[in-house]
Amino acid sequence: MSARICVIDTDPGTDDALALWLALASPELDVRLVTVAGGNAGLDRTLPNARAIVGLSGRAVPVVAGADRPLLGAFTAEPRVHGADGIGGVALPEGAPAAPGIAADSIRAVLRAEERVTLIGIGPATNLALALASEPALAARVEEIVLMTGAWAEGNITPSAEFNAWSDPESLAVLLGCGRPVTLATLELTAQALVTPARLATLEAAGGGACLAAALAILQSVPASRRFGFRGFPLHDPCAVAWLLAPQIFATRRVHAAVETHGTARGRTVIDRWERSGQPSNALLLDALDADAFFSLLGDRLVELP
């Protein structure tokens, strides 16, 4: 089977770094482009982080700058989890310069050139939404949009909103309404991918090169989460990539998903898991994950990188 052509839109981000390395290490994916938004840190940090992460992998994938703020509303970073620099203060060798242009144009260029493209969104959805909203006919070429976003229960940045959805809900609404298959890795799914000291020790024992060493240093920088009784922290973004590599380790269900754009619940995703809204499904919800299989996959792939 030929590799899936994909674009990764990201805001590195500790877990984004792991997601990028997982994708770049995986022969099932043909990563044509990495686009970057401000998110976990400002674009002035996330762009060099993305360049460095791709550079360390040894893969020649263009990295292009995108939005430094959401379509509407104010930009807010998340330094409590990711550190002021976005990758927990871990120094990486500088990557190649950013490719010229701007994210939305570059995403559209890939869509014009290829008939089936998978879009992987692991940050605020601004760049992907701008690409599709500015040339809607290109949506026909989107094979699948896989997003780490949202939550069907409580949020992690407000009581009801998950960080990526809350960062740019209008853009997420564009993706949910574009008519192409959307797959959601929500907080309830990523909670099952808990990084624990035991799992870190297993990864450490795997050997590997500079990427795995950097991945471990980044993971060690992330504080254990109060929400999880300080047992560890969820590894959000690699879950979205893992879906494309090993769908058999997930349980799924079809849902209708929407996002609030107003009021105190701004950024809340309303996910109808039990067909109560009467609305047709517009998304595939990743409901459950075999966590041991997920961490084995992560280790097996990262060990293959330089």
Binding site for Ca ion (CB under 5 A): 11, 13, 16, 122-123, 237
From the list ligand BDR, Ca ion, none, pick the one residue 186 interacts with, judged by a Cβ distance below 5 to 8 Å according to partner type.
Answer: none
Provide the pairing of β-strand 233-234 with 182-185: unpaired
Residue 140 C-beta: closest distance to ligand BDR, Å: 27
Of the CA atoms within 13 Å of residue 25, those in its CB half-sphere come to 27
Tell me if 269 contacts ligand BDR by CB under 6 A: no
Provide the pairing of β-strand 233-234 with 269-272: unpaired
The single residue among 9, 237, 260, 272 that binds ligand BDR, judged by CB under 6 A, is: 237
Tell me if 85 contacts ligand BDR by CB under 6 A: no
Tell me if 148 contacts ligand BDR by CB under 6 A: yes
Residue 136 C-beta: closest distance to Ca ion, Å: 26
256 classed as catalytic: no
- Cβ proximity to Ca ion, 122 vs 271, nearer residue: 122
90: amino acid identity, one letter: V
> Which x/- pattern, by CB under 6 A, does the window 87-106 give for ligand BDR?
--------------------
Nearest in space to 252 (alpha carbons), one of 286, 277, 204: 286
Backbone angles phi, psi at 106, to 5 degrees: -70, -35
Backbone angles phi, psi at 148, to 5 degrees: -90, 105
Tell me if 171 contacts ligand BDR by CB under 6 A: no
Size of the site for ligand BDR (CB under 6 A): 15
Nearest in space to 162 (alpha carbons), one of 26, 40, 54, 286: 40
Alpha carbon of residue 269 to chain centroid: 16
The single residue among 35, 40, 106, 127 that binds ligand BDR, judged by CB under 6 A, is: 40
Tell me if 188 contacts ligand BDR by CB under 6 A: no
Number of DSSP helices (H) and strands (E) in the chain, helices first: 12, 11
From the list Ca ion, ligand BDR, none, pick the one residue 62 interacts with, judged by a Cβ distance below 5 to 8 Å according to partner type.
Answer: none
The single residue among 106, 126, 164, 282 that binds ligand BDR, judged by CB under 6 A, is: 164
**Distance between CA atoms of 141 and 40, rounded to whole angstroms?**
29
Binding segment for ligand BDR among 162-170, 221-229, 251-259, 264-272 (CB under 6 A)?
162-170
**Distance between CA atoms of 288 and 185, rounded to whole angstroms?**
10
DSSP 58: T
Tell me if 122 contacts ligand BDR by CB under 6 A: yes
Are 237 and 122 in contact by the 8 Å Cβ rule? The answer is yes
Are 169 and 266 in contact by the 8 Å Cβ rule? The answer is yes
Residue 146 C-beta: closest distance to ligand BDR, Å: 12
The site for ligand BDR (CB under 6 A) is made up of 13, 15-16, 40, 78, 81, 122-123, 148, 156, 162-164, 236-237
